[in-house]
With several copies, the nearest count.
Chain A
Amino acid sequence: MLDKNQIAQRIAKELKDGFYVNLGIGIPTLVANYIPEGINVTLQSENGLLGMGPFPLEGEEDADLINAGKQTITTLPGSSFFDSAMSFGMIRAGKVDLTVLGAMEVSENGDIASWKIPGKLVKGMGGAMDLVASAKNIIVAMMHTNSKDESKLLKRCKLPLTGINCVKKIVTNLAVLEITDKGFRLLEKAPGVSVEEIKSKTEGNLIIDSEIPDMEF
């Protein structure tokens, strides 16, 4: 079973040289720590920045320089600032190669629910609906089950949707899966996790059409 950092590490393997990537809040943010050697990736922050760097050194925080999670950050050489319309413009136009974000639920047809729990206070969708509606390639990073040990990979999402038919791949603490016409196709399993366990914790249709290898990092 993977921890959050290992999920991030596995997702980082999906990065290709030259990619522009938008990383959501939570596990997705950790992906930046595992960018493979020799691969040059540019991070987009939807509040108006390309070329996001690491957190600043203590004392070098700049209130005018934050990411979409409102954290103080830095820029890397070759960065640029722009307004929010251009930021979502480049997202909508498919210029961002990969979007990694968290989710509460994903359905077997690629729907995602991530922003609202009825009965609980609604905080808002922020940029998530724009991202999932437009991104060329969406990877969801999440735990395979919720705190009640219920599957988060469902036939149909129960929570209000963020977007439909959009998720391409899911990396959980148990497995790597891709969305196909017929449901979740199991690609890899976490070291020490059995296919049976993944089956039992996946409510949506699970396709196992070959020997399932262990994830590599």
Chain B
Amino acid sequence: MKKVYKNAGEAIFDISDGNTLMLGGFGLCGIPENCITALEKKGVKDLICISNNAGVDDFGIGLLLKNKQVKKMIASYVGENAEFERQLLNGELDVELIPQGTLATRCMAAGYGIPAIYTPAGVGTEVAEGKESRVFKGKEYLMEYAFEADFALVKAWKGDTAGNLIYKETARNFNPLMAMAGQVTIAEVEELVEAGELNPNEIHTPGIYVHRIFQGNSYEKRIEQRTVRKG
């Protein structure tokens, strides 16, 4: 059972129209660049994308939006994308906004086989509408269900042929959570090594969660807000 694929195109071979995808990353940090490009090229349509953000106009999930491949976006913040705005206002795109911690925890719950969790986020707001709520020790919580996704597309720093992943700095974000949650998890890594070359004590995502892995290339790693201080 080989997990290693040659490139993104091969790794996403069976992603189909209408599939639900989780895409790791926070803003443009830690996004599966190669997989997104391959999806754009493949032209699959009517995708339901679960991702914290929707990229920018010409990068990240923004590429799939521009190409009209996304039917529905489930995210916590989508403010950086004019094309997104246009499609939403035109009714071309469906969007479901959920609190960031709820998004993260619903992914984790899926990876941990926990069908539902309770969180106070959104109590008393429109997020609570239609949701079951419950009081524990005097505080109100919403019941939130684990996410399901046909595929999770994640990006790691280093990976090995057994599927183990190590993320770098804040590029970790949603990646390990989504990696656990996909029916099929596809990981692209900056550096792919043989099993045994990563320290087992430093693995962030154990290989059991990763079904396919490939070494990505030409990472742009675009910075959204380049902020610097004077030396």
Q: Is A–B contact present in the complex under a CB 8 A cutoff?
A: yes
Q: How far is the CA of A114 from the CA of B88 in the complex (A)?
A: 21
- A83: which of B79, B175, B207 is its contact (CB, 8 Å)? B175
Contacts of A50 in B (CB 8 A): 206-208
Q: Is B194 an interface residue (CB 8 A)?
A: yes
Contacts of A66 in B (CB 8 A): 26-27, 29, 170, 223-225
Q: Is the CB of B97 within 8 A of A80?
A: no
Q: How far is the CA of A127 from the CA of B102 in the complex (A)?
A: 9
Q: Is the CB of A63 within 8 A of B119?
A: no
Q: Is A58 an interface residue (CB 8 A)?
A: yes
B175-229 residues at the A interface, CB under 8 angstroms = 175-177, 180, 194-196, 200-201, 203-204, 206-209, 221-229
Q: Is the CB of B170 within 8 A of A124?
A: no
Q: Is the CB of B104 within 8 A of A17?
A: no
Total of A-B residue pairs, C-beta within 8 Å: 244
Quick one: CB contact mask for B97-116 with A, threshold 8 Å, 1 for yes? 10111111101101111100
Q: Is A111 an interface residue (CB 8 A)?
A: yes
Q: How far is the CA of A79 from the CA of B164 in the complex (A)?
A: 8
Q: How far is the CA of A159 from the CA of B55 in the complex (A)?
A: 27
Q: Is B9 an interface residue (CB 8 A)?
A: no
Contacts of B58 in A (CB 8 A): none
Q: How far is the CA of A64 from the CA of B209 in the complex (A)?
A: 23
Q: Give the size category of B's interface with A.
A: 35 or more
Q: Is the CB of B176 within 8 A of A81?
A: no
Q: Is A42 an interface residue (CB 8 A)?
A: yes
> How distant is B88 from chain A, measured CB to nearest CB, in Å?
7
B196 — nearest CB in chain A belongs to which residue? A77
Contacts of B122 in A (CB 8 A): 129, 133
Contacts of A122 in B (CB 8 A): 97
Q: Is the CB of A124 within 8 A of B224?
A: no
Q: Is the CB of B223 within 8 A of A63?
A: yes
Given contacts A70-B224, A85-B112, A93-B110, contact A75 B168 (CB under 8 A): no
Contacts of B114 in A (CB 8 A): 89, 92
Given contacts A65-B170, A84-B173, A92-B119, contact A124 B208 (CB under 8 A): no
Q: Is B124 an interface residue (CB 8 A)?
A: yes
Q: Is B90 an interface residue (CB 8 A)?
A: no
Q: Is the CB of B112 within 8 A of A86?
A: yes
Q: Is A195 an interface residue (CB 8 A)?
A: no
Q: Is B18 an interface residue (CB 8 A)?
A: no
Q: Is the CB of B127 within 8 A of A51?
A: no
Q: Is the CB of A72 within 8 A of B119?
A: no
Q: Is the CB of A121 within 8 A of B89?
A: yes
Can you list 5 A-B contacts with CB-CB less than 8 angstroms, sorted by A residue number? A42-B162, A83-B204, A124-B97, A133-B123, A161-B126
Known: A88-B121, A130-B119. 9 other contacts (CB 8 A): A17-B1, A72-B223, A78-B162, A81-B169, A84-B100, A85-B104, A121-B88, A125-B97, A133-B123
Q: Which residues of A contact B (CB under 8 A)?
A: 17-18, 20, 40, 42, 44-51, 54-58, 60-73, 75-96, 111, 121-130, 133-134, 160-165
